[in-house]
Amino acid sequence: MNNPTEKMRIFSGIQPSGILTLANYLCALKRFVELQDAGHECVYCVVDLHAMTVWQEPVALRNAIRHAAAAFLAAGIDPQRSILFNQSQVPAHAELAWILNCVARMGWMGRMTQFKEKAGKDRENASVGLFTYPSLMAADILVYHATHVPVGDDQKQHLELTRDIAIKFNHDYRLDFFPVIEPIIEGETTRIMSLRDGTRKMSKSDASDYSRINLTDTAEQIAKKIRRARSDPHPLPGSEFELTGRPEARNLLGIYALLANSSMESVLDRFGGKMFSQLKSELTELAVAVLEPISSEMKRLADDPTELDRILGSGAERATSVAEPVLQKTYDIVGLLQSRRP
Ligand code: TYM
């Protein structure tokens, strides 16, 4: 279905479940902007319904939705060229998710590592939403008939499930209706790790603020977090081979390469044999140079919530005009009466 000459339609989303991090920027937002600037049709979403799968304080959630929207804009998403909105304003996502819940199998959901990690040992107490989360994610994508989905490596399994759901739907109803999407997980570094532990991913919800760099951190905070980042006692490796067993070195060098838009090879050439302290001081300088314009633009946007709400509202109208016909067609395919919404 997805031949290379076909027009790509991009969809991706970010949860407003805390302050966005450097990982969200490097492996998601930065790529979203590149795809927009390459002229693709892009739909980008603040997935607020997903954030609710774990408890969110209502006032904090409302702020986080606007904060995430500000991050998209500050990173370079242009709401004229791309569709930018928040999920709950387009009910077609939740409606299609119900239908896809009836297509997806319990066994498929039970294998999702993110559910296992987030639910932890207390599975009985996890919300049902946390378990069925991947159906909503599939609905987010399929309700736009998106063809390509840029994400970090941690979302790969969810996108495989989206493919399985689309294939099963098409098979059950003997139609070629939903595109079998292609993940876009490109580059040498597709997973950014915690600054405190190179074997765990950097996450907005990690208990330690020192594990991550937030997009709103000041230059001093960035410097302090990088200075305190875990390292090992050896000089930095100079080749891909020597990175084996050195997760902290790999992580900091990988972050440097992404921020500098350079290859891992050239970063290894530059820092091979040097001490962590040198990498840390150059990394701080680079991170501050890249993030400072983004955080100051986010601050400016945050001062005008009315304007942010207006942008999200107009994005939601455009998103609805794409999603609603797909939802109505889905109702028709499965044998429901099409609703007569205006
Ligand atoms: P979320 O909000 O956790 O993360 C948003 C984006 O940032 C990427 N990311 C990372 N990449 C590399 N290293 C990390 N440490 C790291 N942390 C986060 C994520 O891969 C993601 O691209 N389920 C999704 C949101 C979602 C979605 C969708 C994405 C809902 N519906 C439809 C794509 C399409 C999530 O929780 O992302």
Atom 16 in ligand 1: residue holding the nearest Cα: 23
pLDDT of residue 5: 52
Report yes or no on 342 lying in a domain: no
For residues 131 and 235, state if they share a domain: no
Amino acid identity of residue 32, one-letter, is F
299 HSE (CA, 13 A, CB side): 10
Q: For 306, list phi and psi in degrees, rounded to 5.
A: -65, -40
For residues 159 and 253, state if they share a domain: no
C-alpha 166/C-alpha 181 separation (Å) is 8
Report yes or no on 189 lying in a domain: no
Question: Which residue from 151, 156, 188, 189 has its CB within 8 A of the most atoms of ligand 1, so it is best to mutate?
Answer: 151
Q: Which residues are CB-contacts of 107 (< 8 A; sequence separation ≥ 6)? A: none
Q: How many domains does the chain have?
A: 2
Of all atoms in ligand 1, which is nearest to the CA of residue 202? 15
C-alpha 212/C-alpha 280 separation (Å) is 14
Range(s) of the domain holding residue 294? 209-301
Report yes or no on 193 lying in a domain: no
Per-residue pLDDT of the chain (342 residues; tens, 9 = 90+): 445 556 799 999 999 999 999 999 999 999 999 999 999 999 999 999 999 999 999 999 999 999 999 999 999 999 999 999 999 999 999 999 999 999 999 999 999 999 999 998 889 999 999 999 999 999 999 999 999 999 999 999 999 999 999 999 999 999 999 999 999 999 999 999 999 999 999 999 899 999 999 999 999 999 999 999 999 999 999 999 999 999 999 999 999 999 999 999 999 999 999 999 999 999 999 999 999 999 999 999 999 999 999 999 999 999 999 999 999 999 999 999 987 666
CA of 152 to the centre of ligand 1 (A): 6
CA of 195 to the centre of ligand 1 (A): 18
Instruction: Examine the residue annotation and report whether 118 is marked as an active-site residue of this protein.
Output: yes
Atom 31 in ligand 1: residue holding the nearest Cα: 137
In what order do the strands lie in the sheet containing 41-46?
83-86, 41-46, 9-14, 148-150, 182-184
Instruction: Examine the residue annotation and report whether 204 is marked as an active-site residue of this protein.
Output: yes
Q: Which two tokens stand for residue 114?
A: 């993110």
Q: What CATH number should be reported for the domain holding residue 14?
A: 3.40.50.620
Atom 33 in ligand 1: residue holding the nearest Cα: 12
pLDDT of residue 342: 60
Report yes or no on 201 lying in a domain: no
For residues 175 and 231, state if they share a domain: no
CA of 155 to the centre of ligand 1 (A): 6
CB 36 within 8 A of CB 81: yes
pLDDT of residue 7: 79
For residues 310 and 327, state if they share a domain: yes
Q: What is the separation of C-alpha 78 from the centre of its chain, rounded to a whole number of angstroms?
A: 18
Atom 7 in ligand 1: residue holding the nearest Cα: 24
Instruction: Examine the residue annotation and report whether 7 is marked as an active-site residue of this protein.
Output: no
CA of 234 to the centre of ligand 1 (A): 33
Q: Are strands 41-46 and 182-184 parallel, antiparallel or unpaired?
A: unpaired
SS3 labels along the chain: CCCCCCCCEEEEEECCCCCCEHHHHHHHHHHHHHHHHCCCEEEEEECHHHHCCCCCCHHHHHHHHHHHHHHHHHHCCCCCCCEEEEHHHCCHHHHHHHHHHCCCCHHHHHCCHHHHHHHCCCHHHCCHHHHHHHHHHHHHHHCCCCCEEECCHHHHHHHHHHHHHHHHHHHHCCCCCCCCCEEECCCCCCCCECCCCCCCECCCCCCCHHHCCECCCCHHHHHHHHHHCCCCCCCCCCCCHHHCCCHHHHHHHHHHHHHHCCCHHHHHHHHCCCCHHHHHHHHHHHHHHHHHHHHHHHHHHHCCHHHHHHHHHHHHHHHHHHHHHHHHHHHHHHCCCCCCCC
Q: Which two tokens stand for residue 206?
A: 């990690």
For residues 122 and 159, state if they share a domain: yes
Residues with CB under 6 A from ligand 1: 11-15, 23-24, 27-28, 47, 50, 137, 140-141, 149, 151-155, 158, 191-192, 201-202
For residues 160 and 64, state if they share a domain: yes
Which one from 118, 168, 224, 329 is the annotated catalytic residue? 118
C-alpha 274/C-alpha 303 separation (Å) is 43
C-alpha 183/C-alpha 170 separation (Å) is 19
For residues 254 and 322, state if they share a domain: no
C-alpha 65/C-alpha 308 separation (Å) is 10
153 HSE (CA, 13 A, CB side): 11
Report yes or no on 339 lying in a domain: no
Atom 19 in ligand 1: residue holding the nearest Cα: 152
Report yes or no on 213 lying in a domain: yes
Of all atoms in ligand 1, which is nearest to the CA of residue 155? 20
C-alpha 320/C-alpha 144 separation (Å) is 9
C-alpha 131/C-alpha 119 separation (Å) is 9
For residues 153 and 213, state if they share a domain: no
CA of 159 to the centre of ligand 1 (A): 11
Q: What CATH number should be reported for the domain holding residue 275?
A: 1.10.240.10
Report yes or no on 174 lying in a domain: yes
Report yes or no on 217 lying in a domain: yes
Of all atoms in ligand 1, which is nearest to the CA of residue 193? 15
For residues 87 and 112, state if they share a domain: yes
For residues 26 and 161, state if they share a domain: yes
For residues 155 and 224, state if they share a domain: no
For residues 157 and 247, state if they share a domain: no
pLDDT of residue 121: 87
C-alpha 177/C-alpha 169 separation (Å) is 8
